[in-house]
Amino acid sequence: MLTLNTKIEHAEKIDGELLLPYDQREKSRLRATLLSGEDVAVFTVRGTVLRNGDLLRGDDGRVVKINAAKEATYRVEAASPHQLLRCAFHLGNRHTQAQVGEGFLRIRKDPVLKEMLEGLGALVIEEEAAFEPESGAYGGGHHHHGDDHHHPLAPIPVRQKIHRPGDKS
């Protein structure tokens, strides 16, 4: 079985493709199947999140491209930037992973959150889409392919202490 364990930036040749939803792309240990039908094992550094277009080199030198699978999501739109910002605030207050797009947010499908967002006046549209949430304040930024700069993915804390005003340091 091919073992994929080294993230690389560029490759002359792509030897296979792996289609994964977000919840599998954030696992550091995974058994999966390439589009060709070949089984692979994925071993990454704990906390690594694989993004659409990332490349992994296998133990035999082959390179596999990661593709984000479409999954059940909600696209959240609002009548104004202020209203969309309020929606983002309330999602963040609930520690909900969210993708930030140009004039929209995207979250995993969740009827309770849909009701909350509609109560805030947002338009919530169910759609099948690749989910690429923000990596968070400690995640080292979001990687956009075509950028001139390398933005390494950093571990996302499993348990994160939230600082509140008045907390003793």
Q: Where do the domains of the chain lie? A: 2-68, 70-130
CATH of domain 70-130: 3.30.70.790
- Alpha-carbon distances, residue 154 vs 21, 34, 108, 127, 148 (angstroms): 19, 25, 22, 29, 19
**Which amino acid is located at 134 in the chain?**
E
Specify the pLDDT at position 137: 60
At residue 140, the pLDDT reads 47
Better pLDDT: 163 or 49: 49
* Least confident window among 19-28, 115-124, 148-157: 148-157
pLDDT for res 152: 36
Residue that wins the pLDDT comparison between 129 and 140 = 129
Least trusted range by pLDDT, from 70-74, 76-80, 152-156? 152-156
141 or 26, which is more confident?
A: 26
Per residue in 105-116, pLDDT tens?
999 999 999 999
pLDDT band at 153 (very low <50, low <70, confident <90, very high): very low
What is the rounded average pLDDT for all residues in the chain? 86
pLDDT band at residue 142, thresholds of 50, 70 and 90? very low
What is this structure's pTM? Answer: 0.76
- What tokens appear for 128 in the block? 């099948």
Q: What is the side-by-side strand order in the sheet with 63-68?
A: 16-20, 63-68, 55-58, 2-8, 39-43, 29-33
Fold matches, 2-68 and 70-130: no
- Region of 96 (left: φ > 0; alpha: ψ -120 to 50; beta: rest) is beta
Residues 89-123 as b/e (b if ≥16 CB within 10 A, e otherwise) read ebbeeeebbbbeeeebbbbbeeeebbebbeebebe
Instruction: Say what the pLDDT of residue 4 is.
Output: 95
The CATH class for the domain spanning 2-68 reads mainly beta
What percent of the chain clears pLDDT 90, i.e. is strictly above it? Answer: 77
pLDDT, position 49? 92
pLDDT in tens, 34-44: 999 999 999 99
Give me 4's structure tokens: 């994929």
Q: Are 46 and 155 in contact (CB under 8 A)?
A: yes
User: Within a 10 A sphere around the Cβ of 25, how many other Cβ atoms?
Assistant: 24
Per-residue tokens: 118:
């509609």
